[in-house]
Every structure is written in C-alpha cells, then in structure tokens.
Structure 1
Amino acid sequence: MKNWLRTAGALALTLTLALAGCDNASDKAAAPAADAPKTGELKIGFVYPSPVGDAGYAWAHDQARKALEAKGGVKTAFVESVKDGADAERVIENMARGGYDMVFATSFGFMDPMMKVAKDFPNVKFMHCSGFKASANMSNYFGRIYQARYLTGMTAGFMTKGGVIGYVAAFPIPEVIRGINAFTLGVRSVNPKAQVRVVWTKTWFDPALEKDAAVSLLDVGCDVIAQHQDSPGPQEAAQERGKYSIGYNSDMSAFAPKAHLTAAVWNWTPLYEAMMQELRAGKWTGERSLWWGMDKGVVDIAPFGAMVPKDVQDKVLAKKAELVRGEDTIFVGPIKDQAGQVKIPAGVKAEDKELLGMTWFVEGVVGSVQ
C-alpha cells in the first residue's frame, strides 16, 4: 500500500506457518558469503498497516499467511495496525532481533523503516510490498492490480445507467492513480462517453469518512461507486441508495450483496509460496522488484453479483482470459490525459517505469491529482 498509512489499532501476534526468501537470521552479524539450503522450521514475520478484520488489504495478506501455515514447517507471526515511521521501524526491528528468517512489510509507508533495519541485520531477509527501494538483503514486490481494475471498470461501464461513476480514492500516489486510470480505461472501452469522478479521502481505512465520500459522489449523480480503501463503507453507501458498487482488496459482497458487482482482489499465496521455496533452497536474492500479474494468479476479480447479466460477464471474462495468457494491452496507446494531450502514442505500450511513476489522469477522469 502506501507512504502515509492507514489506520492504527490493535497489536496482534499469531503463530503458525509461512513463507519465503533465503538465508539465515542473525543479529547484526556480517552476511555470509553464500546462502545454504534451510532444513529446519522457517520463522516468518508479517507487518500490516491496518486491522486484519473480515475483508480488505491486510485480510488478503493474512489469508496467504494462513495458507503457508497449512503447509507445515513454518512458524509465522503478524502485527496489525502498524503506523508508518518509528512504529514500523520498531516492529520490524523486533522481528529481526527475534530470529525471523524473513520479514514482510506490506505497506508503502514501511519502506524507509525497513531499509534502515535491513542495513543493521544483514542475515535477515526483508520483503517490502509496493515500494521501490532494495538492497542486498531487501527486495520489493507487488501485484499488477491495475489489470483487475480494468476488468472491474469494464463491468462498471456496462452497468452504469447514467454514465457517471464515482471513485473513492485513497492517496494521490502512483499506485492509486494507476488504478484509477486502468479502471477508467476499462469503463471507456465499453462506454466511451462515461465519466469517472474522483474524491480523495487520504485514508486507507476509515469506514465513516469513506462512506461519506461515497455519499458525496452519489449526491452528484454517480450510480456506480468504486474505491481503493480497505473498508466496506463505500459499498454500504451504494447499497443504501439502491446503486451499484465495485469492491477492492477482497470480495466485499457480504457487506452490500444488492450493490456489489465484483471487486479487484488479491491472492498473495503464489508469491509468498515462491519466496518460501527460494528461502528453503538458499536461492533467495535481494535487489529485486517483483511485479506479478493475473498470469501468475496474484490478482483477480471477485465473483460477479447476480445482477450482472451473463453477456456482460462473458465479455469481461474474455478480457480476463487475455490477461491470464500474459496479453496485457491495457496501457497501449493512443492514450490521452485529461487535457486531451497524447501521453502514450498509438501502438506504444507504456513501460513499467512509466506505470510505476504515473502522476497524471487519463481522459474521462473528473478530478485533480492532488
């Protein structure tokens, strides 16, 4: 997730089994020349920026942690509702001192604290989610959730009646902007004149505020509400008004069964299992940026609501099949920005560095990048 943070809350440690990477845990010792395969029980830590709860971002990571536990041979612990800065550094350092073989920090705002701790504990393996900094014993990882965003945008574009869709956005950072753009491209691929109106909350998890933001969009005529945050507040607002919604992070249909069309969802298990296998084999390496997509099963969409017609489902699933085959043409030009200027020329596919640094909105988005 991201630089600022989501919500503070309870501290929770849970033991079980887990995941990935390479090398031995040690306390501020010199790094070994080479890693050896690990034969004993792995000890893996997870740091979450929000409560695990029953749905959302931290919940999705925790489902993968539990899946790893089920395989045996791994003991895991997690700490939830961790704030950026000193709080994150303290939690990560405690895990490093506690003999953990690998630590996963799952928020963008944990990047610099993890870099600092990684420098002091060279024998511990560190994995940071959604960032861009790396070192000899730290890599970063994320998923191409924009692919799922595009598919949910298609769904919203088919289902809107008035052609005005609302988007409750978290923070104006590239990850969120990229998701809004992919969603809008999906909307306009099937409904060329539709608009996506954006309201910023600058939160990751604040159910009341996020619900209020959705209400403000419904008040100006939006009939489908999408979101980037963890809470189901926007879903509930849409249902209360008799409108449709698009969830995020996990299947949120239980919170708004009459509104929820589908959701862009995470499945971290394949990536975490791969890291665990590398760790056991002594093949984990730092200085990497892993960005896995639908072809590797890390991102997906939730089951469609009963209100989505079969012909709509079929069209969306046909596009999903392309992405599963590795045929990603979402950010292939011509793509214009809000001012009508061509940002990605015809036939050109945006490079990953452009996507990772995206700070502009595509044509069709109503709102400012701020």
Structure 2
Amino acid sequence: MQAFHNDQAYYAQPQYAAAPAGYYPQFNAYPPYLPAQQNVAPFPVYATPYEPPQQFPTPAPRRKHLHRSSSAAPSGKSGGPLKSALKRHDKLSASDGAPLTRSRTTSDTRPRVNSQTRHRSNSLPHFVPEHIFFSVHSTNEFRMDNIAYQSTLEELKEHVLPMWPQGVSLDDSREHRWRVQFMGSPWSSVGTDFVLAQRLVTRLFTILASQGYSYLTTVNVRNRLQPPRLVFSQSEPDLAADFFTVTFNKSGYKLSILDAPIEVTQDLGASLRKAFPRRITTDRAMEEGVYVIEVKKGGSYGTPEVDKSTFTAYFLQFLNSVGFKLNGSIPLGKKAGFGLGPRKDVWFFRGTTRRPESRQSRQEK
C-alpha cells in the first residue's frame, strides 16, 4: 500500500484477533465450499417421464338423413328407405289420418280429396284451401279448382252430372281439380237446352252453399284468352239455400225469370205496373218454368222514355226486399251469327226455402 505524501508518518493498521469458536452460538457455521463437479446435468431428471395430456378427436357434424327412392340406392344395397325415413313417414301418415279443422268450425271431420294418395313435391300437404274457383270453357266444359273435401266432389258428381240429358264425355278429377265435358253444347244452347244449362249451374250453386261455400266475386273478366272465374269463399253451410236465374234480352227491357217462386214473380209484376204505369207490355208465366216481364221503352207520343238503369235498379231492390239477393253471374247462351257478340249474362239470385209472404196474402188478412 502506498503511503500518503504528507508530513505525518504512516501508521500501520492494527490487526484484530479472530473470534473464538462458539462466539456466535445462535448461528450455525456455514458448510465448507465445495467446487462444482464436472459432467453433471444442468437440470434434474425425474423418475417418471412427462406425458402430454390425451388429445380427443373433434366430433364430426351430424349428417341429415335424406329420403331416397329405390332408384337412388347404391349398387349392392337394398333400395328401401332408411329407418329414419320410415319413422318420419309413419308420423306423417298418422297426421294425415287425423281430423283436420277448418277456421270457421272445430267439428269438421270430413276427409279431404285424395287424402290417401301421396302428395306431390310441389304441393302443400297440410294446406286446406278456403276458396273454390269455377269457370266454363268452350261450349261444353267446366272446371273447378281447390275442391278440399271428398264429400263436396261426390255430391257434385251425383247431382250435377245427371242433369244434362245428352250425357258426359269426360269426368276427370285429380287431387283438388275437377274437369267435366258434356256431350253437345250446353253453354251455347237455346230454347229448352238453355233452360237445362241454367238449371245445371243453379244446382251447382245450391250444392256449394250446402257444403259451406258462397259466391264472393268474379275475376279474370278482361282476359280474352281465359274465361272469367267465379270465386266461392268458405262460409257456414246453408241447407235451405234456394236459387233462381234471370236473363235480359239485348235491349235490357225484357227479363226472363227461371224457377222463381210464383208469389215472387206475381208480386214483382204488380209492383212494376204500379211503378211504371201503362208501360208493362208482358207479364205472364211461360212454358218450362219461365216467367217473362217486359216494359215498353217509350219515347213516342210525348211519353218519356224509361231509363234502363232505373228499371234494373227497381227490379233488384224489389227482389232484395223479398229476401233474394244477386249472388253472381255467368255468360251462357248462343252468340250472335258467325260466333260474334257476347253471350247472355245469366244472373243468379239466392234466398231461402222459407218463402216470404206475398203482398196479396198480406192484404187478404
């Protein structure tokens, strides 16, 4: 050690004696230092080797069972449906056989049309239509769509088809559709055949009313390629519904009433004579159940002309007052020469079998 350069002399540091053994009894003596051994593993080796956690495979998504027909079965396997398809088919069959309820009542257990057959892929198996469409085609055919119940179809076939004396050439009913072609030409007939054609359609209206369908409206009236379609809507069954028809001549001042109650036609004639004095030229019953009323147009010798709209409105108001309302129309009858011009417009009036009391009988009382 280098001495300081100053005037004072350097004094050596005194040496202290070592502490006697056991001087610090509360502390244990440190173990002697051992040098690190060579070729020793830096990390301890465990007796049990480390095993990674067990890996479980990810489950594959479930496959949906598809309905396969026998033609789509693989080679070497049977063409029958899968068990799951059989179970599903059993459930659907059980639901098809259960009674279906309509929106207006809970007691309707009538079987549906073709309920035992297999539904097509583009159909709605659980859909029950509430509207029926009716249309006449050509001169001898009519079609009906959306017939929901077998009883409706059977009653129509039983009571409508035999009404045409010349017979039926085609009667085709598939699923909810019905197509009929008659022998001859009922829709373009005249005379007695024209009366029978009106009664045929009137019977159809009556059966639909008893089955729970009422006329709602006519659509497709401006389509020249397709005939008008009469729409019947679901309603309460009316077993007492009564219908008759009315047709007008070309001028609109002569009307022919078919199968109306006699007291209604007589009271109508008396009311028209009172409303249009000295203008009623015809008021009598004809053959085949036809009652004809004709009003003179007027306009000669200073007499005012009868307005056709007023005459028709008075006629409708009278029938409504005695319980018969206009319930649809359909074009029937023979066209003009060379197939030109429109057919006659047949009006259908609906009432009940409980005839309203005539005015004459009320006056006698």
TM-score (norm 1): 0.26
Q: Would you tell me which structure has more helix in proportion to its own residues?
A: 1
The structure that has the greater radius of gyration is 2
TM-score (norm 2): 0.27
RCO greater where, 1 or 2, for CA within 8 Å and sep 6 or more?
Answer: 1
